[in-house]
Amino acid sequence: MLEEAEQGEIVGIIAAVHYGGDEQGFFGSGTMCSIPTMGLHALLNLAKKLL
């Protein structure tokens, strides 16, 4: 993924992290945030895979 980002192939990202216990964090960048429907679509596809 780092190589793809360095080559400019990745233009957006969203992520969720778990720090332990009840602590969680969320962040995003690029098209996943500037085009919210794209970010939401990616989130829904991930949710389907997790369920």
Q: What is the pLDDT of residue 9?
A: 95
Distance separating alpha carbons of residues 4 and 26, to the nearest angstrom: 22
pLDDT at residue 48, rounded to an integer:
97
> What is the band of 14 on the pLDDT scale with cuts at 50, 70, 90?
very high
Q: Are the CB atoms for 46 and 38 separated by under 8 Å?
A: no
* 22: region left, alpha or beta (phi > 0 left; psi from -120 to 50 alpha): alpha
At 43 the pLDDT is 93
pTM (2 decimals)? Answer: 0.71
pLDDT reported for residue 19: 97
Q: Place 23 in a pLDDT band, splitting at 50, 70 and 90.
A: very high
Overall average pLDDT of the 25-49 stretch: 95
